[in-house]
Amino acid sequence: MGITDQLSGEQESAVGADTGGLRHELAQQLRVDSVRASAAVGSGHPTSSMSAAELMAVLLDGYLRLDFCEPQDPRRDHLIFSKGHASPLYYSVLKAAGAIGDEELLTFRKFGSRLEGHPTPRIPPTDVATGSLGQGLPIGVGLAVAGKQLDRLPYRVWVLCGDSEMSEGSIWEAFQHAGWAGLDNLCAIVDINRLGQTRETMLGWDLAGYAARARAFGWHAIEIDGHDTDAIDAAYREVVQTTDRPTVVLAHTLKGKGVKAVENQNGYHGKPLPDPEEAIAELGGERHLRVTPTPTADGGPPHRFECSGGELPRWELGEEVATREAYGQALAALGNLRGDVVALDGEVSNSTHSELFAEAHPDRYFEMFIAEQQMVAAAVGMQVRGWSPFASTFAAFLSRAYDFIRMAAVSRANLRLVGSHAGVSIGEDGPSQMALEDFAALRAVHGSAVVHPSDANQVTPLVAEMADRPGISYMRTLRGKTPVRTDPEEEIRIGGSRVVRSSGEDDVTVVACGATVEEAVQAAEELARQRVHVRVIDCYSIKPIDAAALRAAARKSRAIVTVEDHWPEGGLGEAVESALAAEPGRPPIQRLAVADMPISGKPAELLHAARIDAEAIVGAVRDQLTS
């Protein structure tokens, strides 16, 4: 390890053989390169990068056990820029470590470049995308948990945070969980430069205030001058020697450090420096220092869990089973077959039935309590290391973590989310628990899949497929029991559907999912007694939707009726209309959905009030035939 390559004669004379001097020169190089990268494109956050230069220089030279050219080493440390807007600094670190060259550095923010405005995994060894503040530290918690309890390797997770994001609630969810879990392999480095985007931050340079908060959550807190390389070195030594709790290094810094025109000045956030050439000269000119990485710690290969084998569950036709219970059984059985599957829950495992996985695989189950942002972030962190996380809670509560889900897609993360207790069919709990927007929200996530099985035998193959599917997958499960209508031998897949009933004389097709499938079947039976023939499609995959089955039905039907336990916007009905938008001569489509704000009541009462029950479906079919 160490700093090598050339300095100018004047620079070398000033430095001599002093390690602190070399680190100072490395910090200046990081500043200069941050200025250069931002100037080349005319945008970026150089001043936010300049404040943390010494913090990264010392970390890079001696503490970060990460060969940037060998990012696949499972023993390596992980560096997360939670303050992702300081990407010029991050890319300057990559250059100093030899992961990129100077030519690529100057492609920052340009179309086609791997060096995007905020870091993404397109540029190794970046683990996750950041830039939406408050996410890096919670994800770091997930990585630290993976290191201690899953991989069982001695790697450390270093997270650079900004002081502005310390106002985010998700940051304190992370502080709370990491302190509770004793994650001594996690270090948060907080760059306290006092200035946010428009004004001074809430606590300014009150390092003692930050420290008191951190200690209250069980962290070891160190307060330092963030531009003193010796003080930083001493703090990092203390980090690696602390073995019973996570550590936060609280660094007093100056935004725009080293350039008089912008140092500690408001109004320069997110802007290139007004005179970059003069600033580079003031910083001592360009350098070409190279840092040799610190060797990774010993520890052998990552831990792997043994599998006991067995079969996935299946149910007899006609059984009454809640799909949430089927989820718990299917996940527990999948855990017997696959040692990479892990489960997280937001302290409602007896409702989601992930408790069945916890009982079968306690070493792979993680209680995240009522902290949904931290739960999703931890799952993102775990999948970085190749684990296959399933995260479950009430569907309504996932909305709290929506930005984490959105950013997980930017991270190209493989994430499986399961939401129970959704729709008016949950009954007396009332609208705060009903999640009538979950299909719309999750359909809008790039590359996502959204499924809503109507019976237990649909759950098992969908859970198994979700475990292998790249990207974000979401399953909504049902609170109440539903009859098993799907044969266990039938093919069920993401992107599929099943025809529940049909004839050669179908007048209308009813497309339903989840709780409304049973209502559609009852309506079809009533209409059959009136000599009206109805095809019923169980559209258990809402995204991707089975467009081929819908087109085939459209060609044979005089009308289509969709029915869903969801708001009209963004759910099943709109997915069906989208799939058939280009179908020539398509029949009319009538959409039944929850239109008015529901109240508490019995499930049957609420389905009827929302006009998504069998009676409403019968009426809609007859309206279509008479019109």
CB of 334 within 8 A of CB of 389? no
Residue 28: pLDDT over 60:
yes
Residue 215: pLDDT over 80:
yes
Residue 104: pLDDT over 70:
yes
d(Cα 244, Cα 223) in Å, to the nearest integer? 19
Q: What is the pLDDT of residue 6?
A: 56
Class of the CATH-defined domain 2-292? alpha beta
CB of 547 within 8 A of CB of 576? no
- Nearest Cα to 461, choosing from 443, 437, 487? 487
Q: Where are the beta strands (DSSP E) in 226-297?
A: 247-252, 288-292
Rounded percentage of the chain residues whose pLDDT exceeds 70: 97
Higher pLDDT, 293 or 485: 485
Q: What is the pLDDT of residue 10?
A: 52
Please write the tens of the pLDDT for every residue from 251-262: 999 999 999 999
Which pLDDT band holds residue 19 (cuts at 50, 70, 90)? low
Q: What is the pLDDT of residue 297?
A: 82
Residue 164: pLDDT over 90:
yes
The DSSP bridge partners found for residue 157 are 78, 186
Please write the tens of the pLDDT for every residue from 510-535: 999 999 999 999 999 999 999 999 99
3-state secondary structure of 66: coil
Determine the average pLDDT of the residues in 233-243. Answer: 98
Residue 9: pLDDT over 90:
no
Which pLDDT band holds residue 20 (cuts at 50, 70, 90)? confident
Q: Is the pTM of this model over 0.75?
A: yes
Please write the tens of the pLDDT for every residue from 37-77: 999 999 999 999 999 999 999 999 999 999 998 999 999 99
Class of the CATH-defined domain 498-626? alpha beta
Residue 236: pLDDT over 50:
yes
Beta-strand pair 559-563/157-162: unpaired
User: CATH 3.40.50.970 in the chain, residues?
Assistant: 2-292, 320-483
Rounded percentage of the chain residues whose pLDDT exceeds 90: 95
Q: What is the pLDDT of residue 420?
A: 97
Please write the tens of the pLDDT for every residue from 368-383: 999 999 999 999 999 9
Beta-strand pair 508-512/534-538: parallel
CATH 3.40.50.970, domain 320-483, yes or no: yes
Q: What is the pLDDT of residue 298?
A: 81
Which pLDDT band holds residue 293 (cuts at 50, 70, 90)? confident
Based on its alpha-carbon atoms, the radius of gyration of the chain, rounded to whole angstroms, reads 28
d(Cα 337, Cα 309) in Å, to the nearest integer? 5
Residue 2: pLDDT over 80:
no
Q: What is the pLDDT of residue 3?
A: 82
Q: What is the pLDDT of residue 14?
A: 46
Inter-CA distances, 30 with 37, 55, 127, 270, 299, Å: 10, 11, 21, 17, 32
Determine the average pLDDT of the residues in 356-374. Answer: 98
Please write the tens of the pLDDT for every residue from 339-354: 999 999 999 999 999 9
**What are the catalytic residues?**
372
Residue 186: pLDDT over 70:
yes
Please write the tens of the pLDDT for every residue from 540-597: 999 999 999 999 999 999 999 999 999 999 999 999 999 999 999 899 999 999 999 9
**DSSP assignment string, 490-529:** S---TT--EEEE--TT--EEEEE-THHHHHHHHHHHHHHH
- Nearest Cα to 508, choosing from 537, 533, 538, 539? 533
Determine the average pLDDT of the residues in 280-300. Answer: 93
Q: What is the pLDDT of residue 69?
A: 87
Q: What is the pLDDT of residue 7?
A: 55
| Average pLDDT of every residue of the chain | 96
Q: Is the peptide bond before 544 cis (omega within 30 degrees of 0)?
A: yes
d(Cα 405, Cα 400) in Å, to the nearest integer? 10
